Amino acid sequence: MIIGLTGSIASGKSTVAKMITALGLPIVDADIVARDVVEPGTEPLALIAEQFGQDILLEDGTLNRAKLGDIIFHEPAKRKILNDIMHPAIRQEMLRQRDAYLEAGNKHVVMDIPLLFESKLQHFVERIIVVSVSEEVQLRRLMERNNLSKEDALARMHSQLPMSVKEKGAHAVIYNNENLGQTEDQLKKILTKWEVIDAN
């Protein structure tokens, strides 16, 4: 079974992903793939340098993420150019990793995709788990974790689809408002019900 794991910023999705890894399930992590596809020597990095200029690269040939972030944050047209380079490369590599796990004999693969719904990638997976959290808890965690003002934290939260919309699109929801033990129990119940792990 191909399982999609998603959530929203500061919902605790990465924590759940670690629990899944501890259960021995292979994970394709979209965030790691996004970094890997722009390593020095890759075609996407060459295209980015072509579009944004060579000074977008650091001395060691790696991407200057901070500089690129400043450019695309203020210019939507430039952001579209970057997305048009990055998204196909990320999707291709994610599918390659998924298929490699399946060919290696894994029956189940989890695809950790933060913007699963926003990017309309539901067709990549067979079942979707959403890690959900109340807005109050999400706001508090985000402000603490990223040292943000309330306004900045809310702006980041509102740039994504509301949790309620994601929950509607899920086959299962993990509520991550309480302690991690309860979160792990919910995860194990879902995976047992789907016969991904044994009930023990």
Tell whether residue 172 is among the known ligand binding residues: no
* pTM, 2 dp: 0.90
pLDDT band at residue 158 under the 50/70/90 scheme: confident
Q: What average pLDDT does this structure show over 115-141?
A: 95
164 marked as part of a ligand binding site? no
Determine if residue 14 is labeled as part of a ligand binding site: yes
Indicate if the pLDDT at residue 200 is higher than 80.
no
Top CATH class, 1-25+108-193: alpha beta
Q: Locate the domains of the chain by residue range.
A: 1-25+108-193, 32-107
Q: What is the pLDDT of residue 121?
A: 96
- Region of 38 on the Ramachandran plot (φ > 0 left; ψ -120 to 50 alpha; else beta): alpha
Specify the pLDDT at position 171: 98
Known binding residue 149? Answer is: no
**pLDDT classification of 140: cutoffs 50, 70, 90:** very high
CA dihedral 64, 66, 69, 74 (to 10 degrees): -120
